[in-house]
Amino acid sequence: MPEAETPWWQDVVFYEIFVRSFKDSDGDGIGDFQGIISMLDYLNDGDPETDDDLEIGAIWLMPMMPSPSYHGYDVTDYFRVNPEHGTQADFEAFLAACHERGIRVIIDLVVNHTSDQHPWFQTAKTSDAGFHDWYVWSETDPGTLGPWGQDPWHKAENGKWYYGAFWGGMPDLNYHQPMVTKMMYQISKHWLDMGVDGFRVDAARYLYEEGVAMQDHKKTIAWFQDWRAFIKPINPEAFTVGEVWADLQVTAKYSQPKGLDSLFAFDLAEDIKGGVFAPSASRVIAAYQDALKAFPEGDFGSFLSNHDQQRVASYYQEKWGKAKQAAFIYLTGPGIPFIYYGEEIGLTGNKPDENLRTPMQWSTAAEAGFTTGTPWEPINADWPEKNVELQAADPESLFIWYRDLVNLRNDHPTLRTGSYQAFISSCRSVYATLRVADSETLITMVNIGVPKQEDCTLTLEGSALQGGEYEVEDLWGISQLDKIQIGEDGQITELPLAPVLQGGETFIIRLSR
C-alpha cells in the first residue's frame, strides 16, 4: 500500500491500559483517568524531537464503564464512565490531553453480553415484555453445551433459564432482537461523538447462536459489516479491532474492507514467543507468512501478551535476553503492534487473571509510586528492583530496549508497512527479513539462539530490488557489513554476516545505492 494511503492505525504502536492498575491520582488505591493524564509524558510527551518517552501513538483502554466487577467486562451502563475511575469530565480531559499529544484513544466495547446487574436484565427477569427478549431464554434447561464445551445455561429467580456463555453474571444479548443492534449503534455513536477514536470489540465471535452454531455464525460476521457501515459515516477514521480468539482462517472472515479494520493475530503471538523460547527462525517466519496471507495489507494486530494471557516476562522466566528478542521481532515486523502495560519493564504475572493485571511499577517510592494509599491488588514483590524509575536510568534495561525500538519503528515507515520477505539462513537460529518500501530498504536480523553462531550466511531467491551494489548503513547494532551485491533478478546469494553472531545479537541495516 502506498505510504500516503496508509490508515493511521498502521502508523502507530498501541499501548493497552487497565485503568484500575495504571496510576492512582487520589489515594484510593484504584487507578483513574487523572492518573493516566499525569503519566502521559511517559507514553508520549507530544514533542517529536525528544526521545525519552515511549512515543506511543494510540491507547487501548480496557473496560472503563460502570461494572460490579474489578475487570469491567460486565457492564451496567454503556453511556457512562466507571465512577471509580473518575467523572465524565475527567474522561473528556483525558481524551483532550491525549489528542493534544497526537495520541489516539480506543475503548473496549463489550457487545456480546451485559452484567446480570444491568437494568436491562433486571427488567428482563421480571417481565415477559420490554427487555425480556433482549436476552436468550428457555423455559427449561436445554442441556446444550457452549462454544468451548462449557455449560452456558443459568437459572434466574423467575424460574427460567438464560444463556450466558462466559458465566451467569454475564448474560448474552439476543441479537435476533433488532432493538439490541439499534441500542449498540446508539452506544457507538455516543462515544464517537465524544471523541473516542474507535473500539476494541470484546468476544466478537459469539453474537449469534443458532442450533449447534455457537460461534463465528455468518450472521455475526454480517453484523460487523453492518456496524462498519453505520460507524464510518460518523467518523471515517474510527478504528475497530476485534478479539476473535481463533486461527487466522477464522479471524480473517471478520476483516475489512467489509467488517472490522483489524483482528488480533493470536497464532502469531504464540509462534513468536515459542520460536524464541525454543529457537526456531522458521517457526516465526511461517507465522508471519500465514498472517500476511490472511491479512495481505498487514493490518492484523500483533502482540506478545494481553490481559488474558501469561505475561511475557513470566513466560520466559525473566530471561531478559529472550524478552528482548521477542520484542525486537514483533516491533520490527509487519502488523499493528500492541504493548500490554508493564510489558516494557518486565512486569510478571500468571493466572488467575488478577495476577495478570497488577498495578504498574513506577518507582522506588512506597507502593511503587502507583498510589499513596493501599492498592486494590497487591503490587508484585519485585517492585523495588523492577520499576520505570530504575530502568529509565539503565541503558541496558528492557524499558530502554522497548523505547528505542518503538522510536525506531516510528522513524521508519518501512518497518510499519514495508513488504516482508524472509531470508534462508545457514544458521537455524538466525531470523532475518528484507523490508522494502517506496523510500527505503531495510534488513533486520536477530540470533534468537543462546549459543553464538559462526560464519552464517543469508540467501534470498528473489526480491523487488534492482541488481547491483548497495551501500550499508547500520541503524541498530553493528553489522560489520560495508556493501551488499544483489543479483539482476533481486537475488541475494549467501550474504556473509559477521564471523561470529552472539546469542541475542540484533541488527537493522539500511541499503542504498
Residues involved in catalysis? 202, 243
Amino acid 16 reads E
The CA distance from 1 to 438, in Å, is 10
50: left (phi over 0), alpha (psi -120 to 50) or beta: beta
Q: Are 348 and 381 in contact (CB under 8 A)?
A: no
Q: In terms of C-beta density within 10 A (0-12 exposed, 13-18 middle, 19 or more buried), how is residue 469 classed? A: exposed
Interhelix angle 320-331/266-277, nearest 10 degrees: 140
The three grid cell numbers given for residue 81, joined into one nine-digit string:
464512565
Residues 6+ apart with CB under 8 A from 500: 452, 453, 454
CA 16 to each of CA 38, 123, 146, 454: distance values in angstroms, whole numbers, following the listed order: 17, 34, 29, 39
Handedness of CA 186, 189, 184, 221 (dihedral sign): positive
CA distance linking residue 436 with residue 443, whole number of Å: 9
Cell of 93: 480531559
Report d(CA 14, CA 62) in Å as an integer: 12
Angle among Cα 49, 54, 57 to the nearest 5 degrees reads 85
Phi, psi torsion values for 146, nearest 5 degrees: -85, -175
Query: C-alpha 429: how far from its chain's center?
Result: 26
Instruction: Quote the radius of gyration of the chain (alpha carbons, Å).
Output: 24
**CA-based nearest residue to 387, from 373, 408, 405, 366:** 366
Beta pairing, strands 468-476 & 483-486: antiparallel
Measured CA to CA, the distance from residue 399 to residue 169 in angstroms comes to 38
Strand, helix or coil for residue 407: helix
Q: Which of 110, 105, 65, 107 is nearest to 85 (CA)?
A: 65
